[in-house]
């Protein structure tokens, strides 16, 4: 055992909105730690740091069989339970009481930007409480909004689901023509909404319009856009981010929803059809015929299945496992803290590297869809397609007769 | 060529809400007709009988390669376009003008109960107009509500999607506990909502409550039910049919939606999140804590992906092809008209037969979830699980740590 290592148990937590592959990362950390000398026990937190604060019993992961680990890895959503709690100064003593009681010296936290902030807070509290705890953040978020990362585990599977949804729904819309609005997850970053564009194969394929949270949403333009698409294709399939904002930066959806807020101050936008229904009613009203008949307009809000559909992108499943292993390896070679980041080395062939970056590079920061991935006010650029295509795996082929 | 056959072209139409496997049936009819002597041409209607009435050009399917046919078969939604039109007496001349112009003598219509009624109407109009047209209905509907059928092509794939959605969403709900409402398609018949129960593997798995259109919905009972489940499991996953009705038979969802109606008088319930949102708000209000804090409640309306998700049940894909072939075979051995029905011969091993039954046995009739498949006021029976399990194919395995 290298002298810079400290002997003690490791603990792993999962946090924030779960994904289809967050358990791959959990299993990756366990695999990376198993049989390593300084770590004799590997524990799981129940419902993230919240479980530690509340003193919930730990889950012993030390002796799980490879078969069990593989079954866990393939199961969507956080197998240890998740949490949206953010520890405060007052939580410090409770956290370190649990750590001391179980001789925990390695802390792994799998989550998004809020979770990496939690990881940073726990790390800083450790310094303050004079308790040596090495803290590692393992990236995860369908929003793909972590700084310092080319992309984040969980995103590619959600993007695959969205692309497949738009391909299928586009065929549905072509068979019974109308205006179809699909509302996509992604509060602040448009990466997941943008992934709808991967559904296109031929001229005329939907989505015909894509509204991102990075581009101010204007209802008059929205109606004009639809009118133009319908004139050309006799139908219109539309991708709308749940986080679209007006020119003053006010979220259109948040205005409609008598909002829950989590400990990080985030308004709940998913789990409601209000935005889609409001937009559908607007279109029905504005595009009705001279006789007053509304066009056929439907809205679907894709909802939680985007993040938990059990058939992930194979690229994503693999990478999620690898970032977990990488975090464990960094801990076992003496790193004190950090966040694992995915860097793309080449696109043809697609190749990534995993690196440990400072927690403060990621914590509580939000990455947005960069301007070069946006085309006009209602589309994505070819550069985005180049970026996203290698992540989602092979998509189904669809054929047409009319 | 048997003397009872008539020489002439065949035409195939697709109608009603599309499914993931309706193109399998289309390809099945083409396969069953190809190279058969009395049928020199095989045409497709654009957007069902509506295309014939409007004089839209026919689609020539006669010489499609097997490769093209296979790609079409695997594509979800109606490749010829669909329609919800119902022909009237006045449409008769236009329909038979198109038939005469193309020497059409065999009419195949793939659809649900409204579509079988259209098939019957066209058949009767043929007799009236003294035009010999042999009319065959090929079953299709995710609602599974055709009389005379054990089940209908399209249902099993939608049921598979719903079961996988509930399995995944149940893991999501377990990781961030709360009350989760998922609204399922099926206006009058609860078969698809019932399929959510296939997601259960172990005690405590969701869905914990299932509300079917066949059982009067009582909001007080609904709240009491949820309270009891939350007391036991600290969370609650709920399946609600879009067609739930109050004790007077009034649809709860229809009351909320400023409704479109189709030519068959059906109110549009899909393509809106209103019912789920209303129920979620009701639960938040009724189950708030003494301090006024609402519980975590989310609602997803599964929407059109239920009927068009591009990974169908393999059983369903196979059977959808077979009913198309069967319709063609019946036509080619001299039948005058009829609807292909699926009869289950045995459950262990699962085995079906296809039979031609009179159009009037199916047309415009609705089959409901039989009482023996319903348990209490918010669940399905083990008999339903026995019935549905063989249809959906293998479901993913999911593992738990807590």
B207 upstream amide cis, omega within 30 of 0: yes
pLDDT tens per residue across span A285-324: 999 999 999 999 999 999 999 999 999 999 999 999 999 9
pLDDT tens per residue across span B31-64: 999 989 899 999 999 999 999 999 999 999 999 9
B14 reaches A (C-beta below 8 A): yes
Cβ <8 Å between B277 and A280: no
CA–CA dist A35, A31 (Å, integer): 9
B61 reaches A (C-beta below 8 A): yes
A150 is catalytic: no
Return the pLDDT at A228. 98
Topology of the domain covering B9-153+312-361: Rossmann fold (3.40.50)
Closest-CA distance, A158 to chain B, in angstroms, reads: 13
Contact B335, A198 (CB under 8 A): no
List all residues 6 or more positions away from B107 whose beta carbon is below 8 Å from its beta carbon. B10, B11, B13, B99, B119, B122, B123, B133, B134, B135, B136
Burial of residue B238 (CB within 10 Å: 0-12, 13-18, 19+) is buried
Bridge pairing between strands A337-347 and A350-357: antiparallel
B184 reaches A (C-beta below 8 A): no
Return the pLDDT at B255. 73
- Its sign, for the CA torsion A100, A101, A105, A108, is negative
Cβ <8 Å between B271 and A300: yes
The mean pLDDT of A172-182, rounded to a whole number, is: 98
Closest-CA distance, A84 to chain B, in angstroms, reads: 8
List all residues 6 or more positions away from B162 whose beta carbon is below 8 Å from its beta carbon. B184, B192, B193, B195, B196, B198, B302, B306
Which of A54, A85, A300 is the best residue to mutate to test the B interface, defined by the most B CB atoms within 10 Å of its own CB? A300
Q: Which residue has the tokens 């068979």?
A: A175
Closest-CA distance, B309 to chain A, in angstroms, reads: 6
Return the pLDDT at B364. 84
The C-alpha R_g of chain B, in whole angstroms, comes to: 23
Cβ <8 Å between B82 and A175: yes
Mean pLDDT (chain A, rounded): 94
A160 reaches B (C-beta below 8 A): no
Chain B residue numbers touching A398 (CB-CB < 8 A): 71, 74-76, 310
CA–CA dist A213, B28 (Å, integer): 45
Topology of the domain covering B156-310+370-392: Rossmann fold (3.40.50)
List the Cα angle A335/A341/A347 in 5-degree steps: 140
CA–CA dist A225, A236 (Å, integer): 10
CATH 3.40.50.460 occupies which residues in chain B? Answer: 156-310+370-392
B49 reaches A (C-beta below 8 A): no
Catalytic site residue from A50, A91, A143, A145? A143
Return the pLDDT at B270. 64
pTM as predicted: 0.96
pLDDT tens per residue across span A206-224: 999 999 999 999 999 999 9
Return the pLDDT at A270. 64
pLDDT tens per residue across span A365-374: 899 999 999 9
B259 reaches A (C-beta below 8 A): no
List all residues 6 or more positions away from B34 whose beta carbon is below 8 Å from its beta carbon. B42, B62
Bridge pairing between strands A379-380 and A134-139: unpaired
pLDDT tens per residue across span B114-141: 999 999 999 999 999 999 999 999 999 9
CA–CA dist A242, A188 (Å, integer): 9
Instruction: Spell out, as residue ranges, where chain B has pLDDT lower than 50.
Output: none
Cβ <8 Å between B168 and A302: no
Give residues 17 to 46 of A whose Cβ lies within 8 Å of B.
Answer: 17-18, 20, 44, 46
Return the pLDDT at A340. 98
Which of A285, A303, A313 is the best residue to mutate to test the B interface, defined by the most B CB atoms within 10 Å of its own CB? A303
What is the biggest distance separating any 2 CA atoms in chain B, rounded to whole angstroms?
82
A261 reaches B (C-beta below 8 A): no
* Burial B173-212, CB ≥16 within 10 A → b, else e: bbbbbbbbbbbbbbbbbbbbbbbbbbbbeeeebbbbbbbb
Q: Which pair of structure tokens corresponds to residue B237?
A: 């996953």
Among A238, A249, A323, A333, smallest CA distance to A282 is for A238
A61 reaches B (C-beta below 8 A): yes
- Kindly report the backbone phi and psi dihedral angles of residue A381, in degrees, each rounded to the nearest multiple of 5, phi listed first: -95, 165
The mean pLDDT of A45-64, rounded to a whole number, is: 97
Q: Which pair of structure tokens corresponds to residue B159?
A: 């049921």
User: A59-73, A79-93, A167-181: which range is least confident on average?
Assistant: A79-93
**Looking at this predicted complex, what is its ipTM?**
0.95
Bridge pairing between strands A297-301 and A374-375: unpaired
Cβ <8 Å between A176 and B83: yes
Return the pLDDT at B265. 61
List all residues 6 or more positions away from A233 whose beta carbon is below 8 Å from its beta carbon. A204, A208
Chain A residue numbers touching B171 (CB-CB < 8 A): 18, 75-77, 79, 308
Partner residue opposite A303 with nearest CB, options B44, B280, B300 = B300
List all residues 6 or more positions away from A348 whose beta carbon is below 8 Å from its beta carbon. none
Architecture of domain A155-305+370-392: 3-Layer(aba) Sandwich (3.40)
pLDDT tens per residue across span A110-169: 999 999 999 999 999 999 999 999 999 999 999 999 999 999 999 999 999 999 999 999
**What is the Cα B402 distance to its own chain's centre?**
37
Q: Is the pLDDT of residue A31 over 90?
A: yes
Contact A280, B272 (CB under 8 A): yes
- Its sign, for the CA torsion B15, B19, B20, B22, is negative
Chain A residue numbers touching B81 (CB-CB < 8 A): 174-177, 402
Return the pLDDT at B257. 63
List all residues 6 or more positions away from B19 whose beta carbon is below 8 Å from its beta carbon. B76, B77, B140, B141, B142, B153, B154, B157, B158, B307, B308, B320
CA–CA dist A295, A284 (Å, integer): 6
Partner residue opposite A401 with nearest CB, options B59, B171, B280 = B59
Return the pLDDT at A274. 87
CATH 3.40.50.460 occupies which residues in chain A? Answer: 155-305+370-392
pLDDT tens per residue across span A324-359: 999 999 999 999 999 999 999 999 999 999 999 999
Among A235, A240, A242, smallest CA distance to A170 is for A235
Q: Which residue has the tokens 């970026």?
A: A387
Return the pLDDT at B329. 98
CATH 3.40.50.450 occupies which residues in chain A? Answer: 9-153+312-361
pLDDT tens per residue across span A254-275: 776 655 565 666 666 666 788 9
Return the pLDDT at B102. 97
* One-letter-per-residue 3-state SS of chain B: CCCCCCCCEEEEEECCCCCCCHHHHHHHHHHHHCCCCCCCCEEECCCHHHHHHCCCCCEECCCCCHHHHHHHHCCCCCCCCCCCCCCCHHHHHHHHHHHHHCCEEEEEEEECHHHHHHHHHHHHHHHHCCCCCEEEEEECCCCCCCCCCCCCCCHHHHHHHHHHHHHHHHHHHHHCCCEEEEEECCCCCCHHHHHHHHHCCCCCCCCCEEECCCCCCCHHHHHHHHHHHHHHHCCEEEEEECCCECCCCCEHHHHHCCCCECCCCCECCCCCCHHHHHHHHHHHHHCCCCCCCCCCEEEEECCCHHHHCCCCCHHHHHHHHHHHHHHHHHHHCCCCEEEEEEEEEEECCEEEEEEEECHHHCCCCCCCCCHHHEECCCEECHHHHHHHHHHHCCCCCCCCCC
Chain A residue numbers touching B299 (CB-CB < 8 A): 271-273
Catalytically annotated residues of B: 143
């Amino acid at each position: 055992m290298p002298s810079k290592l400290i002997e003690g148990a490791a603990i792993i937590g999962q946090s924030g909105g779960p994904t289809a592959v967050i358990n791959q990362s959990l299993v990756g950390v366990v695999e990376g730690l198993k049989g390593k000398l300084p770590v004799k026990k590997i524990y799981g937190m129940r419902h993230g740091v919240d479980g530690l604060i509340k003193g919930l019993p730990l889950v012993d992961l030390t002796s799980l069989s490879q078969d069990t680990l593989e079954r866990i890895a393939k199961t969507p959503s956080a197998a240890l339970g998740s949490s949206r709690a953010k520890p405060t100064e007052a939580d410090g003593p409770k956290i370190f009481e649990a750590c001391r009681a179980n001789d925990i010296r390695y802390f792994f936290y799998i989550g998004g930007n809020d979770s990496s902030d939690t990881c940073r807070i726990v790390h800083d509290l450790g310094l303050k409480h004079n308790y040596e705890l090495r803290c590692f953040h393992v990236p995860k978020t369908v929003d793909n909004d972590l700084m310092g990362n080319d992309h984040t585990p969980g995103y590619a599977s959600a993007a695959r689901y969205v692309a497949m949804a738009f391909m299928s729904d586009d065929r549905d819309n072509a068979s019974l023509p109308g205006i179809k609005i699909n509302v996509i997850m992604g509060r602040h970053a448009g990466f997941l909404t943008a992934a709808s564009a991967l559904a296109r194969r031929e001229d005329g394929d939907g989505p015909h319009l894509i509204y991102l949270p990075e581009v101010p949403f204007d209802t008059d333009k929205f109606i004009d856009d639809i009118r133009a698409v319908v004139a050309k294709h006799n139908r219109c399939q539309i991708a709308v981010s749940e986080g679209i904002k007006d020119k003053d930066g006010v979220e259109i959806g948040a205005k409609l929803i008598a909002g829950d807020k989590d400990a990080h101050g985030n308004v709940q936008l998913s789990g409601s059809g209000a935005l889609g229904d409001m937009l559908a009613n607007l279109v029905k009203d504005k595009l009705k015929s001279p006789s007053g008949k509304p066009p056929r307009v439907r809205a679907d809000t894709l909802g939680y299945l985007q993040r938990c559909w059990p058939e992930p992108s194979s690229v994503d499943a693999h990478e999620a496992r690898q970032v977990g292993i990488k975090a464990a390896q960094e801990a076992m070679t003496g790193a004190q803290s950090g966040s694992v980041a995915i860097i793309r080395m080449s696109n043809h062939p697609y190749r990534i590297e995993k690196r440990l970056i400072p927690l403060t590079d990621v914590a509580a920061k939000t990455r947005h869809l960069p301007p070069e991935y946006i085309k006009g006010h209602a589309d994505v650029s070819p550069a985005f397609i180049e970026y996203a295509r290698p992540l989602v795996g092979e998509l189904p082929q669809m054929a047409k007769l009319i």
